Amino acid sequence: MSLIAVGVNHEQASLDFLERVTVPEHEWGKVLRTLVSHRNIHEAVFVSTCLRTEVIADIDFFHGAIEDITMTLAEATGVDVAEFHDRLSVHFDRGVVSHLMRVAAGLQSIVPGEFEILGQLRRALDLAEEEHTTGQEMRDLFHRAIATGRRVRTDTAIARGTTSFAYAAVSMANDELGAALRGADVVVVGAGQLATGVVKSLLDTVDGLNRVSVVNRTYERAAALVESLGESRVVARDYGSLVELVGASRLTIVAAEAPTPLLTHDDLAAASGPLLVIDLGIPRAVEADVADLAAVRRLDIGELRSRIERVIDDRRDAVEEARQVVDADVEKFLADRRARGAASIVRDLRAHFDEVVASELERRAADIALFDEDQAELVRSVVRSVVAKLAHRPTIALKESAGTDQGVRLADATRTLFDL
């Protein structure tokens, strides 16, 4: 199994470019099917969030895989393949394991330790399983990465304070509005994990809210969110009332995915009073030019990132502890992987030798029958002992080199030499 991870993220690409290459979740299945249609790609998991669009795959040839994956991303997003070249993040084999575990641990996130990424990785793996584009090795890698992410948040202080986009967005609203939120009406657009986190953070951290209206294209999802909270100040509203509700609110937080903006300049032109809009969407769910309106202030993920970078110094030690946890788990996964890789070829080799011994003893059974039972058992014992000694050194070499380039060559040679 040769692993590769190819994609773009917020560390190498601008938010504008990330917006252009974000793939809606309902199209992930098509991307996965296209990926595994390439002969060079055997398994694939596709992750596309507001801050990363990435493929993790099991491949044959490194450079060919980069080309196949980049072409697939270009086709899925309508972005010219040449625009990816200077923005690609590429990891291979051991680097993929380390990268994925760092992502799961929240070390590659704008908000260190944020927990939404764990759900995103879980959904990406679930979809790959539904599309039959992943096998046991890839599933094991993702399960181990998710487990590492949970352990980092349990065993280190990286999860202290602001640990999600939702909480960070609400903190930013508090910084901007302060006492103006007391008695205010707030609108949350969306009903997914991020929107749920936003509503919970509002209830937990903002005193004296009047009402939180949850608006979603599918009313039933908004109603389910509201029912799960059991809070009288939170109500579900029909999507058709969105513009009216936002215009009368003091704060609107958009936590929804949409191919085109949900709120436009014209929608907000008639806002009845000062309005803060926080857009957590990529692609942007609120047109940027709404900020031209005198009554409207618009903030997005770019501003959120800048603010977080100014306040994470107190978590430097926790980040280092988290890295140590990840490094240890990477080594453990690779050791287990080497052991699994060696086990298969060693098992096949031993089975081959056992078969040769059994076949030869059976072929010479008539000759062995001329001896008495003690002599016959001695002959059998000598044959087995000689074969075991001949198998010992190849077995040790296969185990010690498992998971390395040399190990791959030795395994291939062993299968060829012994017709395994």
List, for residues 244-288, the tens digit of each pLDDT value.
999 999 999 999 878 789 999 999 998 878 999 999 887 788 998
Contact 331, 137 (CB under 8 A): no
How many angstroms separate the Cα of 166 from the Cα of each of 188, 192, 198?
Answer: 11, 11, 5
Banded model confidence at residue 84, pLDDT cuts 50, 70, 90:
very high
Q: What is the pLDDT of residues 297-345, one digit of tens each?
A: 999 888 887 777 665 665 678 888 999 999 999 998 887 777 666 677 7
What percent of the chain has pLDDT above 90? 48
Task: Determine the pLDDT at residue 340.
Answer: 67
Average pLDDT over residues 31-57: 92
Q: What is the pLDDT of residues 128-176, one digit of tens each?
A: 999 999 988 899 999 999 999 999 988 888 876 655 778 888 989 999 9
Number of H helices, E strands in the chain: 16, 10
Could you identify the residue written with the tokens 């999802």?
221
Could you identify the residue written with the tokens 């513009």?
243
- Domain range list for the chain: 2-161, 165-310, 353-417
Report the chain's mean pLDDT, rounded to a whole number. Answer: 88
Task: Determine the pLDDT at residue 183.
Answer: 93
Average pLDDT over residues 339-359: 81
Q: Please list, in sequence order, all residues whose beta carbon lies within 8 angstroms of the beta carbon of residue 157, skipping any fewer than 6 positions away.
A: 315, 317, 318, 321
Task: Determine the pLDDT at residue 330.
Answer: 94
Residue 405 has pLDDT above 70, yes or no: no
Q: What is the DSSP string of 213-263?
A: EEE-SSHHHHHHHHHHHT-TTEEEE-GGGHHHHHHT-SEEEE----SS-SB
CA angle, 294 as apex, 290 and 295 as ends, to 5°? 85
Residue 199 has pLDDT above 80, yes or no: yes
Banded model confidence at residue 109, pLDDT cuts 50, 70, 90:
confident
Task: Determine the pLDDT at residue 404.
Answer: 67
Classify 165-310 by CATH class: alpha beta
Task: Determine the pLDDT at residue 239.
Answer: 95
Average pLDDT over residues 198-208: 91
Task: Determine the pLDDT at residue 245.
Answer: 95
Q: What is the pLDDT of residues 362-372, one digit of tens each?
A: 898 898 888 98
Exposed, middle or buried: residue 28 (CB in 10 Å: 0-12, 13-18, 19+)?
A: buried
* Sign of the CA dihedral running 148, 149, 151, 156: positive
Task: Determine the pLDDT at residue 311.
Answer: 57
- β-pairing, 52-59 vs 41-49, is antiparallel
Classify 2-161 by CATH class: alpha beta
Q: Is 91 a catalytic residue?
A: no
Residue 22 has pLDDT above 70, yes or no: yes
Which residue in 44, 50, 172, 199 is the catalytic one? 50
Lowest mean pLDDT among 7-16, 92-101, 284-293: 7-16
Rounded to whole angstroms, the Cα distance separating 313 from 211 reads: 35
The alpha carbons of the chain give a radius of gyration, in whole angstroms, of: 29
Contact 153, 114 (CB under 8 A): no
Give the SS3 label for residue 383. helix
Q: Give this prediction's pTM.
A: 0.65
Task: Determine the pLDDT at residue 249.
Answer: 94
Task: Determine the pLDDT at residue 224.
Answer: 93
Give the SS3 label for residue 362. helix
32/301: higher pLDDT: 32
Rounded to whole angstroms, the Cα distance separating 342 from 363 reads: 31
Contact 171, 205 (CB under 8 A): yes
Task: Determine the pLDDT at residue 313.
Answer: 61
228/273: higher pLDDT: 228
What percent of the chain has pLDDT above 70? 95
Task: Determine the pLDDT at residue 342.
Answer: 66
Contact 46, 8 (CB under 8 A): no
Rounded to whole angstroms, the Cα distance separating 346 from 313 reads: 50
Task: Determine the pLDDT at residue 325.
Answer: 94
Contact 68, 34 (CB under 8 A): no
